Amino acid sequence: MYSLAHHIKIDQTVIIILFLSWRECLSIE
C-alpha cells in the first residue's frame, strides 16, 4: 500500500533539489 509518509518524504526531496537548482541559477547570474 502506498505510504503517505513516503510520499511526503519524496516531496521534501524534490523541493530541496529544486531549491538548490534555483540557488545555483541565481549565483550564476
What tens digit of pLDDT does each residue of 1-29 get?
Answer: 578 777 778 889 999 999 999 999 999 77
CA gap 13, 10 in Å, rounded? 5
CA gap 15, 3 in Å, rounded? 19
CA gap 3, 19 in Å, rounded? 25
pLDDT of residue 17: 96
pLDDT of residue 1: 58
pTM of the predicted model as reported, rounded to 2 decimal places: 0.56
